[in-house]
A and B are shown apart, each in its own frame.
Chain A
Amino acid sequence: MTKSMKILRPAIMCFLVMTIVCGVIYTAAVTGIAQLIFPGQANGSIITVTLKDGTQKDYGSALIAQEFTSAEYMIGRPMGTTNLSPVSEEQKALVDERTDWLHTLDPDNTADIPMVLVTASGSGVDPNITPDAAEYQVARLARERGVSGDDVRAIISKYTTDRFLGIFGEPAVNVLKVNLALDGLL
């Protein structure tokens, strides 16, 4: 027992020192510098729009998906995380339901639906869809908004990010930014 007590003192002191160094000083230093150099990103990448009357309004985070359900908006991925096995009956039923809904939204479109529009993401708030899932919606958006397909494509391409260095990750279209642009807000 006396031996353990001899070790207890440095153990507690070591723990306290590490708590101050790694918990307080390190966290404070990163926060301070982050707030100084990257205030937008550090605070959630909030999209703030200056309206015509000069007031500023927040429209959400560029990195967090919002739910869109009407035909005049670009539709993103289903919200929420399911954790279902992709080959289960429950998953098939959900996919069928989403497929039917997309067909009611745009009855003229008979093309095959891109996978990401009927499968939920890992975060449940994936802000992006694939470029082919965006292209699938171009004709509908153009019709609903009364603009040409190329106008819609120009907006989509403006808010598409490529692979990092052309190698890492996948190209992606930010749904919220496209919809803000369609509304003339961005």
Chain B
Amino acid sequence: MNMIILQDIAYFVLLVGLSIPLGIYMYKVMDGQKVFLSRAVAPVENGIYKIMGVKGNEEMSAKKYALSALVFSAVGLFFVWLIQMLQGVLPFNPASIEGTSWHLAFNTAASFVSNTNWQAYSGEAGLSYLTQFLGLTVQNFVSAATGIAVLFALIRGFILRQKATIGSFWTDLTRITLYVLIPLSFVLALVLVSQGVVQTFAPYREVAMLESRAAQTIPLGPAASQIAIKQLGTNGGGFFGVNSAFPLENATTLSNLLECLSLLLIPAALCVSFGKAVKDSKQGKSIYIAMMILFVAALGITTISEQYRGPVFEGIVTSGSMEGKEVIHGIGASSLWATATTAVSNGSVNSMHDSFTPLGGMIPMFLMQLGEIVFGGVGSGLYGMIAFVLLTVFIAGLMVGRTPEYLGKKVEPYDMKMVCLIVLAPLMCTLLSTAAAVMVPEVDSWLTNSGAHGFSEILYAFSSMGNNNGSAFAGFNANTVFTNVVGGIIMLLARFIPMAAAIFLAGNMSKKKAVAVSEGTLSTTNTMFVGLLIGVILIVGALSFLPALALGPIADYFTMR
């Protein structure tokens, strides 16, 4: 256990240390300032604007910004849907994989466009190389960039005064992709290859095994390039079916450390960017701290449960629950990853969450159900968290009878309606779809486990899709018409309702004039506010999901041998 604690502390030191410079850098990029890459990238950037036929400094209204984001995502959805169904006749398909069914293709397209990366297919068996790099890798980049773009639109809403605009979606998207995502992914991908993560267009390799001489297929592909952005952009969709548990996707302890750091890096750094952008670093810091407290608490419970609450078998050395975990990751790095990937809406895995102990598996589920705001998705996590901050400010305002305000802007009924959409849409998607799924007559046949743990498989699946996470209790057979269609729809709703609401919130905030800070202004940077914020998050989450959790993991815990 001491080694696990040491590993976790070292991880946090690296994370915080890297997030600060990256956060400042991202702020500069999004503010349009010159950075060290400008000389090389600026000509490319300007060329891209020319091809697109837009002006780099265009100012958009909230409505135009939202429409641009939605239409752009719709184009991506259509393309990814199509390329999967047609992959059988397209090139770069050495394993001769057939086109997928329409409903699986829809689910996967919705999943990657919405930054969820839920996977009802297994990469090496279901998709061609072309679908992977031309369809999915691209969505890994642009869905992440879209989330960050919307966050900065919202931030501009707070900074700008009496304006009707919030920046240009095309500029935001392009700058994030060119200055942040591609350079980081490029470096990470090459380091991952050095560790043994595959990157090739060669066909799968057949080898004869040592003892039996039977044939074994080694799946290959252009994996590292996609895995790098999958980790950095809170995407999470593995190149291979078992994701980063697969040694060719995550080969060594070093590759695991880097992939695990990449999970949290950009969402954490964005807190720093936020503080910089609103010219009050303390505002970013208090959000960062609130997220960190929730994260550390979750990590503690998961790790302790996996280490000490695993099964005890006669004649077997008791050493933590190793079912579904790789030897090189052990209890420590598996628990850390499981917590990180669900706190952030990433959803990649390096161990099988279905085989976690009841409480160890409940924490990842609950982190998703909180709405993916404990760091959350790139951009989307922080704009979701800002909605919770506004909710907290509003509730505090009601308690003392003052008009609530945040960052010098009054919070009014229209704003609170948008906040409610951001907070409630994922929650409703999750609960309603779970309820619908358990009423499907053949639902039993989709499950690997029975009883309370079987219900946990369903609840986990729809919590994952309804909050754009993408991880799974993988015993759940997801490739059915019901799950593909319903899941695809809720992934889109849970992504784009809050996103549109955040953009319109930005537009409304941008119109307002600033109010002066007075003695009566509620401080949003002190310890009391951090406590209040955590309280509001936990109350909303617990009130919504405790009944469902009681039927799943909690019942599982009390009935286990």
Given contacts A44-B248, A63-B248, A95-B316, contact A10 B170 (CB under 8 A): yes
How far is A44 from B207 in the complex, measured between Cα atoms in Å? Answer: 11
| Per-residue contact bits, chain B 215-258, to A (CB 8 Å; 1 contact, 0 not) | 01010101011100100000000000010011110011110110
Number of A residues near B (Cβ < 8 Å) is 94
Question: Which of A66, A132, A161 meets B317, CB within 8 Å?
Answer: A132
| Per-residue contact bits, chain B 193-226, to A (CB 8 Å; 1 contact, 0 not) | 1111111111001011111100010101010111
Q: B36 CB to closest chain A CB, in angstroms?
A: 20
- The segment from B96-104, B325-333, B404-412, B506-514 found at the interface with A is B325-333
Q: A21 CB to closest chain B CB, in angstroms?
A: 7
Question: Which of B137, B196, B216, B355 meets A23, CB within 8 Å?
Answer: B137
Chain B, 118-141, CB within 8 A of any chain A CB: 133-135, 137-138, 140-141
Given contacts A19-B134, A83-B448, A170-B330, contact A123 B205 (CB under 8 A): no
Chain A residue with minimal CB distance to B181? Answer: A22
| Per-residue contact bits, chain B 366-396, to A (CB 8 Å; 1 contact, 0 not) | 0000000000000000000000000000000
Given contacts A10-B170, A43-B220, contact A112 B349 (CB under 8 A): no
In the complex, the answer to whether B170 meets A14 with C-beta atoms within 8 Å is yes
In the complex, the answer to whether A83 meets B355 with C-beta atoms within 8 Å is yes
Chain A residue with minimal CB distance to B9? Answer: A167
B303 lies within 8 A of chain A by Cβ: no
How far is A85 from B71 in the complex, measured between Cα atoms in Å? Answer: 43
Q: B216 CB to closest chain A CB, in angstroms?
A: 6
How far is A84 from B352 in the complex, measured between Cα atoms in Å? Answer: 9
| Per-residue contact bits, chain A 24-38, to B (CB 8 Å; 1 contact, 0 not) | 101101110111011
* Residues of the A chain whose Cβ atoms lie less than 8 Å from the Cβ of B325: 121-122
Question: Which of B51, B193, B212 meets A67, CB within 8 Å?
Answer: B212
* Residues of the B chain whose Cβ atoms lie less than 8 Å from the Cβ of A129: 327
B75 lies within 8 A of chain A by Cβ: yes
Chain B residue with minimal CB distance to A185? Answer: B210
B85 lies within 8 A of chain A by Cβ: no
Instruction: Tell me the interface secondary structure of chain A in the complex.
Output: mixed
B272 lies within 8 A of chain A by Cβ: no
Q: A37 CB to closest chain B CB, in angstroms?
A: 8
Q: List 16 A-B contacts (CB under 8 A).
A: A13-B52, A27-B137, A27-B225, A42-B200, A45-B248, A68-B211, A73-B211, A83-B448, A84-B323, A119-B321, A120-B324, A163-B3, A163-B253, A168-B11, A169-B330, A179-B211
**13 extra interface residue pairs, beta carbon distance < 8 Å, beyond A10-B170, A15-B75, A34-B224:** A21-B177, A22-B182, A26-B186, A30-B190, A37-B193, A44-B218, A45-B196, A61-B248, A84-B448, A86-B356, A120-B323, A122-B334, A169-B252
Give chain A's interface residues, CB within 8 Å of chain B: 3-4, 7-15, 17-19, 21-24, 26-27, 29-31, 33-35, 37-38, 41-46, 58-64, 66-70, 73, 77, 81-92, 95-96, 99, 112-116, 118-130, 132, 161, 163-164, 167-170, 172, 176, 179-180, 183
Give chain B's interface residues, CB within 8 Å of chain A: 3, 6-7, 10-11, 48, 51-54, 64, 67-68, 71-72, 74-76, 79, 133-135, 137-138, 140-142, 170, 173-174, 177-178, 182, 185-186, 189-190, 193-202, 205, 207-212, 216, 218, 220, 222, 224-226, 229, 242, 245-248, 251-254, 256-257, 310-311, 313, 315-330, 332-334, 349-352, 354-358, 448-450, 453, 473-475, 556, 560-561
Closest 10 CB pairs of A and B: A169-B253, A122-B245, A83-B475, A170-B330, A63-B247, A164-B253, A87-B560, A128-B327, A30-B225, A34-B199
